[in-house]
Chains A and B, each alone.
Chain A
């Protein structure tokens, strides 16, 4: 087996082609979890018996020539803020340590309908906010994997599952994807239902996916999507228009990561795509302040009752965010929401000159230590705009840690984003894997 054999697409094709059963596939990944989990701590619950039981049913169906969908028999990880029927869902909080929902989140239901097997629940920061969980980075366990979708990204990066769900309110898919050297997709918010997912901020939350390749996240997203996802044919390099933005992103990126980003743009100019220099609109300087204000207030609203009874059990960052959010007035919150609408309109105009906007994947490689999940600033403008954003690894830097890029597209234009993402993936040719993967 080669590392490519563990991609979601390859696993799915092997099961569909009869080269492997779902039971064998689940056992393979359970074995990989058993070998790596003590070092990475990506899972809150591994449902070995449940997954093997689901595999048995799906293998019987396959033997009769019945396939539920493109993920038939494929094991996936589910971030632990997504409700799973009969399977513990902790929200990364001691308050929910024994919570066993009697229903699936809508997205989990859709994944099951597509044939996916729920391998277990992946670790999240507390309520998908900023207090870190126990997960370590598969590239170097002394570094953070990012968050809040820490366990999902780390599990995929370490080859413990071929795909996993994530969610993003500021940078919770983009940052862990970049830090863990894998592919992440934050689709447009309305594309995937958030029913049954514990909210961080109702108007900012996005459900998305992690995988080893663009094809992997496309398969996951297609299965999870409430709207049909367009599958576009391959695109020629000369048909691609890439927008690049230097203001804001330069000052929020480490020197080495920025130099790599600039080198990539220089190479891109000679590779076929048309590269357009873009200027950010007038409302852009308000973007991060608007996102943080909306997030604080909506987080406070989502936690008002729980916080009133259990504030002492909250992590210090979550508690500080909730309590500061409780003090912001309705008019201040609405001002942030109104500025967001203007920002979204103005940012949407950028796509008259390009198909995708290229930006760094994170401030730099994963920071050392587990006390913080890193800085979400670089991803936040795209989340606030609600532009679907694909994160791709591009290179390793010091200490063999990966850095990545983000490609963002117009709202609901995931089809074109994925098509261009596949071109970038092939062109960049990043094929590095952490030692723990082998």
Chain B
């Protein structure tokens, strides 16, 4: 999850500027946590066919 959050924080700084990162951090932490949960579920290419 830390890796996902790091990537989101870095993208946030690049896209919206360093001054927005602090305000965005709680939203990015929630997003990273959600993406991490989703990444744990085993899914192969035909699973939702």
Contact = CB atoms under 8 A, between A and B. Distances in A.
A327 B34 contact: no
A290 interface: yes
B37 A286 contact: yes
Chain A interface extent, by class: 20 to 34
A287 to B, nearest CB: 10
A296 interface: yes
A371 interface: no
A323 B20 contact: yes
Please classify how large the interface on chain B is, using the bins under 10, 10 to 19, 20 to 34, 35 or more.
20 to 34
Nearest to B12: A327
A289 B34 CA distance: 4
A321 interface: yes
B12 A323 contact: yes
A289 B38 CA distance: 7
A339 B20 contact: no
A316 interface: yes
B3 interface: no
Contact of B41 (A283, A292, A320, A324): A283
B38 A324 contact: no
17 contacts: A286-B41, A288-B34, A289-B33, A289-B37, A293-B31, A293-B38, A296-B31, A316-B23, A320-B24, A321-B27, A324-B12, A324-B24, A324-B27, A325-B31, A326-B15, A336-B38, A342-B47
Interface of B: 8, 11-12, 15-16, 20, 23-24, 26-28, 30-31, 33-35, 37-39, 41, 43, 47-48
Interface of A: 283, 285-286, 288-290, 292-293, 296, 316, 320-321, 323-328, 332, 335-336, 338-339, 341-342
